Every structure is written in C-alpha cells, then in structure tokens.
Copies of this chain bind each other. A is one copy, B any other.
Amino acid sequence: MNSNFTLAVHSLTLLSLMPDRMSSSDAIAESACVHPVRIRKVLSLLRKNGIITSKEGTGGGFIFAIDPGEVNLWEIYKITAEGSLQPKCPDVNEQCLVGANMKNVLLSIFSDAETHLGEFLSKYSIEDVVANVKQT
C-alpha cells in the first residue's frame, strides 16, 4: 500500500487535535515530513468526500467538516488506497487455460478479502486513533 492512507490518517489526527482552527498544509507537512503539495493532494481527496473543508487565502487551511468519531479507517482506505490489497496480475498468455483465467479467479478472491478488511477497518474511527496516539 502506498503512503497516502498513512498521510490521510496522520493529517486527520492532527486536525482532530485542532478542532477550532484551520491547519495549513505547511504545518501538517512538517509533522509528516513530506512536501506540502502532497498533503494538499491527499487532503483534496478527503475534501471531495466531505470529510474536511478547506479555505484558501490568508488564515486558510484545513479543518474537519464532521465529527472525527464519525470517520472510520475503512472510509479513508477506500478514498486513498482502494484496490491496493489486490495482487498485481501481469499480462499472461491467453492461449493457456491457466493464463486466461487466473486473473479472474484471484480478482474474485481478493475482492472478497477486501470486503472482510472493510468490516475490520470500519471498527476504528479517527477518534480511536487519536486516543491510541495520546495514550502511548
């Protein structure tokens, strides 16, 4: 899985610790040690999905649009990393019985597996993550 998921969770965790003011991509980027543009890209996805809002201009930034307890890790996974459980199936020799069908068989199995993963990740909200981070 690429790091967009981690970046999204990291950013949301920071935002939930700053519930009453906007955080800039620069500030978030500094905590996550990545380029601010990447933060803006990832948070742009979250914004389009209604999880956060953003404001341009002086004093602008990002802030939660809903209760952090209402957002779970599965939603974030779907937005930032869907399909990354799926194994890569390179092109194969279609002449061959195995080649011709392997992709479909694995796709079907891992599609089910991702559904299970979803049930598991749905149990963790951003609030839970915040609690865990604080507790350590």
Q: Which residues on A are within 8 Å of B, measured CB to CB?
A: 1-3, 5-6, 9-10, 13-14, 17, 30-34, 73, 81, 84-93, 96-102, 104-106, 108-109, 112-113, 116-117, 120-121, 124, 129, 132-134, 136
Contact = CB atoms under 8 A, between A and B. Distances in A.
25 contacts: A1-B86, A2-B87, A2-B88, A3-B90, A5-B87, A6-B87, A6-B106, A9-B102, A10-B98, A10-B99, A13-B102, A17-B98, A30-B93, A31-B92, A32-B90, A32-B93, A33-B99, A98-B133, A101-B133, A102-B133, A109-B121, A109-B124, A112-B120, A116-B117, A117-B117
Given A31-B99, A133-B105, A81 B90 contact: no
A6 B133 contact: no
Nearest to A29: B93
The SS class assigned to the A binding surface is helix
Contacts of A88: 1-3, 6
